[in-house]
Chains A and B, each alone.
Chain A
Amino acid sequence: MSHFILQRTFIMVLTMLVLSFVVFYLGNLEPNLRKLALEQNNNRMSQADVDSWLEKNGYRRSFIVRYGEWTAGVLSGDFGYSTRFRMPVNEALPKRLGYTGILAFWVLMTMVPSALLIGILSGMREGSALDRFLSLFSVTTTATPEYVSGILFTVIFASLLGWFKGVANVKDITFENFTLPVMTMSIYGMGYIARMTRASMSEVMTSQYIRTAHLKGLPFKTVVLKHALRNALIAPFTVILLQFPWLLTGVVIVEKLFNYKGFGWTLVEAAENNDVDMLLACSLVSVLVVIGTQLISDVGYAYLNPRIRVES
C-alpha cells in the first residue's frame, strides 16, 4: 500500500513539474509579457517603455533561471507575488480557497445524496415509468451546462419569482444568495453521477447473486438494501471522486456568473491579467485536487470492493 501511495505521489510531483513548466512558458511568451506590462501600468505605453519595464522587473532574464527561482521559492513555501491582487500569493489565495471550499461543501452535500437516490431508484426497476422519468431528468441536467442553467435559474428564480438573489457575496453567505450557485453546480453534476449509479445498479440487479438472493426467499427490500446497494455503489464512488476536477471548471463558471469571489473567480482574474505566479499556484492546486482525488478513489475502491486490494 505504501508503495502504491509513493508511486502516486511521484506521479503527482512529476505532473506538477511539467504543468507548471508549461504554464510558466506560456505565461512568459512575449505577447503575454507585453499584456502584463500594459495592465500593470494602467495606460498606453510605447514599445520602448514596455521593454524597459520588463527589463527593470527582471522579466528579461533567462527563462530557465526564472523558472528555477520560482521552483525553489515553491519548495520553501513561497508561491511568489500576485501582480493582479498586488500582494503575495500566499496571502491572496488561501482565503479564496476557503470561500470555494464552502461552496464546494454545499454542492457536494446536495449533489451526491440526490444523485445516488435518483440513480438507485431508477436502476432498481429498469424500464419502469419512474426510471424513464428520472433518466430523462438526468440526461437533461447533464446536457445543460452551468452557464445555461445558471442564467435560466436567475431568470426564473431571481428576476421573475424574486425568491433568491442572482449574486452571491463571500462576506455574507445567506440562504437567499447562496442557493442559486449551489443549485446550478449540483444540478449539472448530478445527472452524470445519477446515470452512472443507475447503470451500475441495473447491472447489479440483473446479476446472478441477486437472483440467488431472491431465490433464498428474501423480500425485495432486503435484496436491494443488503445485496444490491453496496455492490452498486462501488462504481459511482469512483465517479463521484473523479467529478472533482470537473467541479473545478464548474466553480470557475459559477463564481464568475454569480460574482462569488472564490478560487474560480481568482483563477479567471489571474488568467485575464496574465498574473503568472497566481496562475501557477492555481494550477498546482487543481493538479493536487485532481490527482489527490484519484488516489482517494483508488484506495476507497479497493476498500469497497474486497475483490481488488491494492498491491501491498
Chain B
Amino acid sequence: MDTVSIWELWGGVAVRFWPVWLAMLITYLLMRMYRKRLGVFGHLLDSAVGITGLMIVLFWLFTALFADIVSTFEPLEQFFRYRKKPPGIVEAESMIPMYFGSDNLGRDLFSRMVHGSRFVLMIAPAATLVAFVVGITLGLPAGYKGGRVDAILSFIANLILSFPVIVLFYLLVTPGIRETALPNVMAGVFFMFPIIFSLTVLRSRFSERPGLLFPWSVIILILGGWLYSGVVFNSDPLGLISMDPNELNIFAAVVFASSPGVFRIVRGLTMDIKTRDYVAAAQTRGETPWYIMLWEILPNARGPLIVDACLRIGYTTILLGTLGFFGLGLAPESPDWGSMINQTRGLIRLVPTIVLPQTIALASFVLGLNLLADGLREESLKD
C-alpha cells in the first residue's frame, strides 16, 4: 500500500480546504471594509487574540458549510482493506490518500472529522440560543422584581446546577427515555420560550400602537407555530422542518443543562443595571416592567451576554463531546467528534495518531470560541 509524504499530506489537506480559505478571506475583507459599522466586532480586528479566535471559529463554520466539497470520502463509507491505517495511506481504487488515516471500520478519519463539524455547529449554537432565550426570559424578572419570584426561580436554577451533569444525561438521554413523551415535553416547553419572548418584546413596545402590534403578533404566531410543530412534534404541515428524535433529545437535555447558567448571569446583570437612573426615568414615565426589562435593561446587558454566549457555545461543544464520549444519545456510526473520540480511544496503543483529528478539532474549536470571547471582552472594556 502506498503512502504519501508528509509534504504531500499537509499540502493535500490545505488544498482540500480551499473553499474554507476563500470564504474566510472574503469575510475578513468584508469586515475590514465595514469595520466602522460593526461596533465591537470591528474592534476585534485590532486584537490579535480576538482575530485569531474569530478565524478559528470561522474556519470550522465554513468547514461545516462546505463539508461535502472538503471531504474526500463519504463519512460512513467503509474500506475493509484499510482498517486502522496511519495517516497518508492511499486508497488504491480512487487513488485518493486517506490524509489522517482510517478508523477500526476502515472509514476515512479526515472526512469524518470534516463532517463531524456539522453536528456540533448545528446543535451547539442553536441550543445555546434557546438556552439564552429561556435564561433571559426567566432571569430578567428574577433580577428585576426580586422577592419571591427570584427566590423560587433561583432555587430551581441552583437545583439543576447542583445535579451532576453526567447523571442528568444518563437519565435524560437514553433510548428508553425516547420511548416516553419526556423529551418532547421538555422540548415543547423550551421552544415555547422563543415564541413567548418575541410576543412579549412586541407587546411591551407597541402596546400604545395596536396598528403595529396585531399584524406582527399574528406573523410571529404563524411562523413560530410552524417551526414549533415541525421541531417538537415532527408534524410540519409543509414537511420542510423536522428533527431527528435523537437530536431533539440531546437538544432538550443540553438546553436544560445550560439555561440555569444563563439565568444566573442575566439575573446578576439585571440587578446591577436596574439601579441606573435611566431605569428610574423609565419608571417615572410609567413604563411597564416588561418594557423596562426588555427595552431598557436587556440592550445594556448585551456586551457581557455576547461574551458569555461565545464561552457557552464552547461549553456546549464540550458537553456534546461528553455525550459522545459516554456513548449517549447518538447513533453509533455518527461522525460527531465526541463519539469518534470514544470509538478510537481504545486503539491508541496500536495507532497513536488515530484519536488526534477529532480531539484536536474539538479542542481547537472550543479554543477559538474562548479566544473570541477574550477578544470581545477586552475590546468592549477599552471604550
Interface residues of A (CB under 8 A from B): 11, 14-15, 18-19, 23, 26-27, 29-32, 34-35, 135, 139-140, 142-145, 147-149, 151-152, 154-155, 158-160, 166, 245, 248-249, 252-253, 256-257, 264, 267-268, 271-272, 279, 282-283, 286-287, 290-291
Q: Which residues of B contact A248 (CB under 8 A)?
A: 164
A155-B356, A159-B349, A249-B166 given; 19 more Cβ-contact pairs under 8 Å: A11-B158, A19-B162, A29-B176, A31-B179, A143-B314, A143-B366, A145-B321, A145-B322, A147-B325, A148-B359, A148-B362, A151-B341, A151-B355, A249-B165, A253-B166, A253-B325, A268-B326, A279-B167, A282-B167
Q: Which chain A residues lie closer than 8 Å to B338 at the CB level?
A: 147
CB neighbours (8 Å) of A155 from chain B are: 348, 352-353, 355-356
Kindly provide the distance from the CB of A264 to the nearest chain B CB, expressed in whole angstroms: 8
Q: Considering only CB atoms, which chain A residue lies closest to B361 in the complex?
A: A148
Determine whether B79 belongs to the interface, using a CB cutoff of 8 Å to chain A.
Answer: no
Say yes or no for B80: interface residue by CB 8 A criterion: no
* Overall SS of chain A's interface: helix
Main secondary structure of the interface of B (DSSP, over half): helix
Chain A residues in 8 Å Cβ range of B366: 143-145
**Chain B contacts for A15, CB-based, 8 A:** 155, 158-159, 162
B contact set with A: CB distance below 8 Å: 155, 158-159, 161-167, 170-172, 174-177, 179-180, 182, 314, 318, 321-322, 325-326, 338, 341, 345, 348-349, 352-353, 355-356, 359, 362-363, 366-367, 369-371, 374
Given contacts A31-B176, A155-B356, contact A144 B363 (CB under 8 A): yes
Closest approach, in angstroms, between the C-beta of B268 and any C-beta of chain A?
Answer: 14
Residue numbers in A under 8 Å from B374 (CB-CB): 135, 139
C-alpha gap A287/B167 in the complex (Å): 12
Q: How far is A244 from B23 in the complex, measured between Cα atoms in Å? A: 42
B171 touches A272 (CB 8 A): no
CA distance A171 to B53 in the complex (A): 44
Most buried by B among A148, A151, A248: A148
- Contacts A151-B348, A249-B164, A283-B167; A34 near B176 (Cβ below 8 A): yes
Q: A148-B362, A160-B352 are in contact. Are A245 and B162 (CB under 8 A)?
A: yes
* Identity of the chain B residue whose Cβ is nearest the Cβ of A149 in the assembled complex: B363
A152 touches B163 (CB 8 A): no
Pair A271/B171 contact, Cβ less than 8 Å = yes
21 intermolecular pairs with C-beta atoms under 8 Å apart: A11-B155, A18-B159, A23-B167, A27-B171, A29-B176, A31-B174, A32-B176, A139-B370, A142-B370, A144-B366, A144-B367, A151-B341, A151-B348, A151-B359, A155-B352, A155-B355, A155-B356, A245-B164, A249-B165, A283-B163, A283-B164
